Amino acid sequence: MAMLTYIEAINEGLRDEMRLDPTVFLLGEDIGAYGGAFKATKGLLEEFGADRVIDTVLAEGAIIGAATGSALAGLKPVAEMQFSDFVSNGFNQLVNVTAKYHYRNFIPVPMVVRLPSGGGIRGGPFHSANTEAWFFHTPGLKLVAPSTPYDAKGLIRAAIREPNPVLYFEYKYLYRHIKSEVPDGDYEVPIGAADIKRTGSDITVITYGTGVHWSLEAAETLSREGVEVEVLDLRTLMPFDRKAVLSSVEKTGKVLIVHEANLTGGVGAELSAFIGAEAFRHLDAPVRRLASPDTPVPYAPPLEDAFLPNAQKTAEALRSLAAY
């Protein structure tokens, strides 16, 4: 076991898979000599060389297109978008080629796109987006969103080994804000498996990424007030763990869905519809959502702080549900 930050766990997962499998290679902007904008690929060029850690031009469409072609040729590319927002420049390649290729031609597309996501680092409207809802709606893509160093390492390894294209959403705020023990050996976190980060009997919070940490802090606050909150970390957004969601909802009867992305049309909307259709008879209150407002992410620190969900807002939403 080693104590690793979230970003160190990603780096170690990439390194371990590259050592195990010579078909794994990395490509992206400034990932080689510079080690990545956030240093997620630090040291990998020195170990594996420029043929496997490739600095690309500033062209996300070219990066995703090259990764897709390489995957079709039998390699396992891991492409980095320097910020999740920039994937919009490669949108056509990703949704019209990568996502549909197996459906059209029955050929595996084993590739990963890493997407540094979210706010809290004062990045402003062009460097802080949470883009998962765009791709949650796109058949052919799998989406994972780790919240801890353990899950970050286990999911990057599972994503690289997956024969389908995987979007790996990683949260910039978490990179160096959290640290925990991570196994040294070979392990995976299965794609499609949620995890109960805290057990409870009164309310279920369904969340992922940064939302997990807000929810855990809020759950501890509510526990001191006599309300026991269960925190279900989806870990995989598509396909999400339907069995785990229903099991928790049936136990508690009240649900709050928390995510950092904008409210309207987000992952929480689909979860709400799913719970309403499949677990309505178990509900003791309407399903509620807590998310960011429907605006771009502000740059000014006070505005960004007001914009983002947090532990206090989560606790307030839980108190309202508890009193329903």
Question: Tokens 């802090």, residue?
Answer: 217
b (16+ CB within 10 A) / e for 284-293: eeebbbbbbe
Rounded to whole angstroms, the Cα distance separating 113 from 290 reads 27
CA-CA distance, 252 to 302, in Å (whole number)? 36
User: Residue ranges of the alpha helices (H) in 49-192?
Assistant: 60-72, 91-92, 101-105, 132-136, 149-161
CB 103 within 8 A of CB 109: no
- Sole residue written with tokens 């959502």: 289
* 3-class DSSP state of 300: coil
Q: Could you confirm whether 282 is annotated as catalytic?
A: no
Active-site option among 102, 127, 177, 259:
127
Residues 6+ apart with CB under 8 A from 172: 38, 116, 117, 118, 120, 121, 123
Structure-block tokens of residue 150:
């353990």
Would you say the C-alpha torsion 24, 118, 7, 2 has a positive or negative sign?
negative
Residue from 26, 35, 42, 121 nearest 78 by CA: 26
- Name the DSSP letter for residue 175: T
Q: Could you list the active site residues? A: 127
